[in-house]
Every structure is written in structure tokens, then in C-alpha cells.
Structure 1
Amino acid sequence: MAPMKLERMLSMKGGKDESSYVNNSQAQAQHARSMLHLLTETLDGVRLSSPPEYSPANFVVADLGCSCGSNTIHMVDVIIKHMTKRYEAAGFDSPPEFSAFFSDLPSNDFNTLFQLLPPYGGSSMEECLASDSHRSYFVAGVPGSFYRRLFPAKSVDVFYSAFSLHWLSQVPEVVLDKRSTAYNKGKIFIHGANESAAIAYKKQFQSDLAGFLRSRSNEMKPGGSMFLVCLGRTCVDPTDQGGAGLLFGTHFQDAWDDLVQEGLITSEKRDNFNIPVYAPSLEDFKEVVEADGSFAINKLEVFKGGSPLVVNHPEDAAEIGRALANSCRSVSGVLVDAHIGEDLSDELFSRVASRATSQAKELLDQLQFFHIVASLSLSY
């Protein structure tokens, strides 16, 4: 899928229905909370700036790949409260004015996100009307790809990006080219694919990350910091995508094969669909940061996040099956709908749920995500 085409359509599933991102991002919230100590370490390294004469200082936070749920709002709130306490502890008469930029691709459901913001925040109209919360920062939405420039030069103090950088700007062209050794025949993801396909995905990831770093190095204020979290893997072999591989390369893959075998889609239709996700190893990530040279690595590690499945009744196989299908659909449903239409998409995810239900216990035991966690600051 060409970069501009993917950029115009890729998003987490909007709205508030059962398979929406809003209702299927509890695991991301849990994983983010488990890393708060690493985030606060990064924030403690951010330079506190005095206000220029005649005007208050402006402290700017940007969440890149914010999506449309409440997780981004919570994390921005954590960042701003922590920085406020730092300013107070340092003896500043008053903290700066804070601005928060929520950035994602133009197809992101910004409407749902903005409805969740204080003082409006609430999942229903009644909750919004009853809310008495307030917001201590100014807000703006910034549509665009974070693989390019999004902000003016030297304007952002803290960049935060969680669970987004594993999404590529495009599916590598050679992966969809029948003439190429990297052609990913019979598969919709690189988990278990041939070596050439995996190398193509790795190159795309590293090219994208290099563009991300170039852009942020121009946009970050001196003394600023960046905290990044993306899906990662512990295996050296890129064809073993770990938790991402189990999410997209097992029951999801088998459901596509079901549609082919039942004559609902052609094998060519399946083969022309690939998930634009790459879970890097620590070395994959480190190579790009060091080659770019703009950022010093304060911390770079693999962090065990846990399961992406949040269920109320772990003994209920059907609930686990639905949770896996909804988890897949909340992040890939928009792409699937565009490729085969909503009716066939319903069929596909119904089969994902059915297959996952039959393997529920194994899923809960085996489906674990690891994340690459990076704390970076300008090296000059």
C-alpha cells in the first residue's frame, strides 16, 4: 500500500462500539501505567526554562500517535502534573503555561478524543453534563504523519509516543510484488514469513524511524526529552514477531485462509493485504538512533508489558475469543474494511473469535507483549 494512501486511511477504529479502540485499549492503559517510573525518570531530565521578559514561559507536550481514547489524555495529564511539581519544587513563583498537542493521522477520530477531554470528559452525555473537572493546559489537534515535520523548529519540550512507532508508513512494495523474493505469498503478516520479506519490513521500519528522529531533532527545544514506547521482540530473528506475531499471525491469519478456502475471497486478494507493523529488536532500534546521531540514549530497554487481552472472566473461553477479535479489529479493522468491505470484515472477525475461543487457555498463557522503551534527549 502506497505511503500516501495508507496515511489517508490508517487509524485505530473510531467511535464507541464494541470493537472500537476506545473500548479495547485497556491493556495499553495497563502497560503504560506499568512504565510510569520510566516516564518520570525522563521528565526529571527535562530542562526547566525561565519565562522570557514580559511574557510567561510556555511548556509544550506533544503526544504522537495519540489515537482516540482516554489513555492519551491521562498520560498528558501525568506529564503536566509532574512538570508542575518540578517547577514548584525548584522555587519558581508560578509554573509556565502548558500546551498539549494531540497528533495522529488525519483519519484519526479526533471528535471522540476531544469529547473525552476535561471538562467535557465522559463516555455519555450525562457524564459530560455532570463533570466538574477542569483542564490545566491548552489543547490543539495536529493531523499528520509523525514520520515528517509536524511542529515549528525548537518548539516542543516533551515528546511522548506510546504503542505507535511499530506502525510503518507503508507496506514495503517488494512484499506485494509477485516477481520479488520478498513476496509474502499466503500471508498477511511477516510472522513466519520468508527471510527476504522480513528484511524488507526491517528496512522500512528503520527508514521510518530515521525520518521520525530527523523531524523531532528539529522540533525539540534544547533541554527537551522524548519518551517512546513501541511493540518489540526479544528474538533476533525478525520472522518471529513475538506477541505481535501471535496477534496477527495465528488466528487472524487462519481466518483469512478460511475466507479463501470458502471461496469468499481469492488467494490473490488475501496476498495483497499485509499488516504494516514491525516489532523491532533492541538492536534494530539502537542502530537507527546511533546512525542518526541527533539524540543521546538515556535509556533503551525491552520491557515486558503483559497480555493485550483484558477479560473479566478468564475461565470464559467465548469472552477470550471476543477479546482477541475485538483487539485485532480495533487496530486493523479500518484497513480490513477498506480491503474487503464491511460485510466480509464481519465474517473475518467472527472467524477470528471462533478460532480464538477454541484456543482460549493457550492464548491467555502465551499472548504476551514486549515493548521497546526509549528515553532520548538531544545530543547537542
Structure 2
Amino acid sequence: MLPPMGDNVVVSNMELERLLSMKGGKGEGSYVNNSQAQAMHAKSMLHLLKETLDRVELGDSREKPFVVVDLGCSCGSNTINVVDVMIKHMMKRYEGLGLEPPEFSAFFSDLPSNDFNTLFQLLPPMANYGVSMEECLAAKNHRSYFAAGVPGSFYRRLFPARSINVFHSAFSLHWLSQIPEAVTDKRSSAYNKGRVFIHGADETTANAYKKQFQSDLAGFLRSRSVEIKKGGSMFLVCLGRTSLDPTDQGGGGILFGTHFQDAWDDLVREGLISSEKRDTFNIPVYAPSLQDFKEVVEAEGSFAIDKLEVFKGGSPLVVEQPDDPSQVGKALVNTCRSVSGVLVDAHIGDKLSEELFLRVEKRGTCHGKELLEQLQFFHIVASLSFVQ
């Protein structure tokens, strides 16, 4: 039995920083088991990451550790893999110059609601220090760095001043710090009535999201400008769009603005939730254009742009048999649930959340071939150097 419509209020005025996280654990809908697409997209960009690492000043290796940070690390193996790549690449740079490598430290940072327990269970054991460079570089089942978790929003300060050599953040900066207040205010012209995302929304609504993204990114850059060491660099990847129109959110729009949207409308139509309950839920995501991103970096002024481009990532749906529509439906619902399930659960409760995602899966199954062809992600890739 589903609860009566009036009893399904779980959280009012959700605090994103307290709630937002990728779905933890190791279940079917968890981020751990639904981040293969991110892994493939990240792998295709490794050459750009290594170009960024080659610009980092090595400094004195005798006194201080070399510190890397992954911001928005989530709880899967992707973050561990990329940190391993970064540290081994820097080891090779030291070795190539005939320098003794420093000790390495890696911080995994995300919001306090992140499933750090699952993340650290995936972390390989520490290798013994004192082994040779060749052994360190060849170690596949051990790590050659000290690890720690840092909870908190990356839109604020997280680390001591001048303590970090390299910042890395992938597939995170499109998540906003909050839903713009005007978007859920019935009295505002930006009120996103009838929608749970800005794809296809009014221009006023989309501009409210754009302003929030710009404010958030500026805060991110200001914080990192205090924390990064001289000669340090950042490598940033976030969901992007190729259209200049912010109401066209590209792949993110198809993911959240079509079958996910329709599933919410189904719940309203069937009397399971009110239209007002739907209208007070919005996905806090904004896929910027290249120009959106560039304007903020240049206006903030702390970092020089070494590289800024739109990179085609491909589909977020990973299926073994593309001709099987049921697999596409399952991939769609698991993708949606892994990144938005926590927010949906908090807004309408577990039982109604299950009903919602059942409808997402059904719609995905009915439109399998179309989804695989149309649902393609583009990413903004930025390599930034600290301006001393």
C-alpha cells in the first residue's frame, strides 16, 4: 500500500549540502555499480590530465609532500584510479629529472553525506615506503601515497593555504550548491512550474540557474586560489553543452528532462503526489556552455586558462546488448537513481521513489533504441594554472 498523498512529505526545504550524494553502498542502483560510463569518459581524457600534470612545478621534494586532491570524489573506484594515475605520472617526472621523489598525499573530498566507508573499502593497502621507484610504479595492488577523506562543500575553503599541488575534479562542478530560490517561488517569474529540471524551461528560469552556476564556480575558484601552492594546477571536467541556449541542456536535459520528467507527471496524473509536490523538486544541475565557464574564470582572475574545450564523452548508458530494450531501460533507471535517488527519496519517500523509478525504467524500455542514439554527454574540460 502506498501512503496517502498528504503523508508523503519527508523533507521540506531540502538542505542540499546535507543530503546530496551519489547513491552509496554496493546495490544495483548504487554509484559504485553505475559509474562505468564515467570511467570510460575519464579514461578518454587522461592525455589531457597528463598535459596538466606536466605543467605543475615540482618544487623541493625534501621537506614537503606532493599533495593531490580529488574534489567530488564520490564513492566508486574511479577516484582511486585517477589519483593513482596522477601520482604515478608525477613519480615518473621526478625520476626523469633524476630527482628523489617526495612522499605523496591524496585527499578524497566530497560532501559529508558521501559514502566514504564504501570508498575506503575499495582503497588498496599502503605499499611499504623505502622500496625502489620501479617497485612503486609497478605496484598494482598497493598504493604509494597517504590517503585521507575531507568532508565539505568545494564551494568553500577545505584546505590550509598554499598546501595543495594539484586539484582534480571530474563530473561534479555541474552540481549546484543550491536550487535558486526564485525557481521554487510561486511569486517569481522564474518559478519552474510543471518541471523538475530546466531543460525546455522558460528563459528566466534557465538564467536563474546560470547565475547560480556562475556564483558557485567563482566561489570554487576563490577557495582553490588560497589553497593551491605556487606553480600548482587544476584539471576540471563537468557536464557541458554545445548550445548557447541554457534551456537546452543537451545530454543532461535528455536524462532528466524527458522520461524522468514524464515519470513525475505520471505520479501527479495518478494522484500519488500533488502537482505542487512535483514542482518543489528540481534537479540542482546546470550544464554550462564553453562561454559560461570562460567568463567566470576570466572574471575571477586567479587562474590562467591553459586549455578549455568541449569534449564529447558519449552515452552514460552502458549496456551489453544494445538491441535489448529492457537492458536500456534498466541502464536508464540505474543511471538516474545512482545520481538523483538520494534527493528523490528525501523529497517523496522510499515507497513513492520506487514507484517513480519503476516508471522511468518502463519508459526507458519503450524508447530503448532512441535513447541510445540521442543520449550523448558533452563535457567542459579545463586545465588551469595558478596565477602567482
**TM-score after normalising by structure 2:** 0.93
Q: What's 1:144 paired with?
A: 152
Alignment counterpart, residue 115 of structure 2, candidates 69, 90, 109: 109
Alignment of 1:301-312 (within 5 A): 301-312=309-320
Instruction: Output one character per residue of 1:321-360: Cα deviation in whole Å (capped at 9) or x when no partner.
Output: 0100100000000000000001100000000000011100
**Superposition map of 1:360-375 within 5 A:** 360-375=368-383
Q: C-alpha displacement at 1:44, in angstroms?
A: 0.4
Aligned equivalent of 2:274, options 255, 266, 288: 266
* 2:21 alignment partner, one of 11, 14, 17: 11
Q: Deviations over 1:59-107 (max 9, x none)?
A: 0000000000000000000000000000000110x21100000000000
Distance across 2 between alignment mates of 1:119 and 1:319? 36
Pairwise CA distance, 1:119: 2.2
- 1:196-345 aligned within 5 A: 196-345=204-353
Match of 2:67 in 1: 60
- 1:118 corresponds in structure 2 to 124
* Separation in structure 1 between the aligned mates of residue 238 and residue 329 of structure 2, nearest angstrom: 25
Provide the rounded CA distance (Å) in 1 between the counterparts of 2:117 and 2:12.
27
Specify the SS of the correspondent of 1:377: strand
Local SS of the residue matching 1:344: helix
CA contact (8 A) 2:155 2:220 kept: yes
For residues 132 and 201 of structure 1, do their structure 2 counterparts lie closer, same or farther at Cα, with a shift above 3 Å needed?
Answer: closer
Mapped to 1, the partners of 2:305 and 2:160 lie a distance apart of: 24
Partner of 1:125 in structure 2? Answer: none
| Alignment partners' CA distance in 1, 2:30 and 2:61 | 42
Q: Letter of the 2:20 partner, please give it.
A: L
In the alignment, the residues of structure 1 paired with residue 333 and residue 101 of structure 2 have an alpha-carbon distance, to the nearest angstrom, of 45
Paired AA for residue 114 in structure 1: F
Which residue of structure 2 aligns with residue 97 of structure 1?
103
TM-superposed CA distance for 1:3, in Å, is: 9.5
For 1:130-176, what per-residue CA distance to the aligned partner results, in whole angstroms no more than 9, with x for missing partners? x9822100000000000000000000000000000000000000000
Tell me the secondary structure at the aligned position of residue 91 of structure 2.
Answer: helix
| Residue in structure 1 matching 2:38, options 28, 41, 48 | 28
Alignment match, 1:153: 161
| 1:195 matches 2:203 | yes
In the aligned structure 1, how far is the partner of 2:176 from the partner of 2:33?
24
Instruction: Supply the distance in 2 between the matched residues of 1:317 and 1:353 (Cα, whole angstroms).
Output: 10
Identity of aligned residues (%): 77
Aligned residue runs from structure 1 range 164-183, under 5 A: 164-183=172-191
Instruction: For structure 1, list consecutive stretches of 5 or more residues without a partner in the other structure.
Output: 121-130
- Give the one of 181, 193, 196 matched to 1:185: 193
Q: 1:280 aligns to what SS in structure 2?
A: coil
Q: Distance in 1 between matches of 2:14 and 2:290?
A: 28
Q: Which amino acid aligns with 1:196?
A: T
The TM-score, its normalising length taken from structure 1, stands at 0.95
For the 8 Å contact 1:119–1:134, the answer to whether it is kept is yes
1:172–1:200 Cα contact (<8 Å) kept: yes
Answer yes or no: is the 8 Å Cα contact 1:3–1:169 preserved in 2: no
Q: Residue 4 and residue 361 in structure 1: after superposition, are their counterparts in 2 closer, same or farther (change >3 A)? A: closer
Q: CA deviation at 1:49?
A: 1.1
Q: Shift of the alpha carbon at 1:50?
A: 1.6
> Are 1:87 and 2:94 matched, yes or no?
yes
How many corresponding residue pairs? Answer: 366
Q: Could you tell me which residue of structure 2 aligns to residue 37 of structure 1?
A: 47
Retained in 2: the 8 A contact 1:2–1:170? no
Amino acid at match of 2:115: D
Alignment deviations for residues 169-189 of structure 1 (CA, whole Å, 9 cap, x no partner):
000000000000000000000
How large is the RMSD of aligned CA atoms in angstroms?
1.4
Query: What secondary structure is seen at the aligned counterpart in 2 of 1:67?
Result: coil
- In structure 2, how many angstroms separate the alpha carbons of the residues matched to 1:322 and 1:171? 28
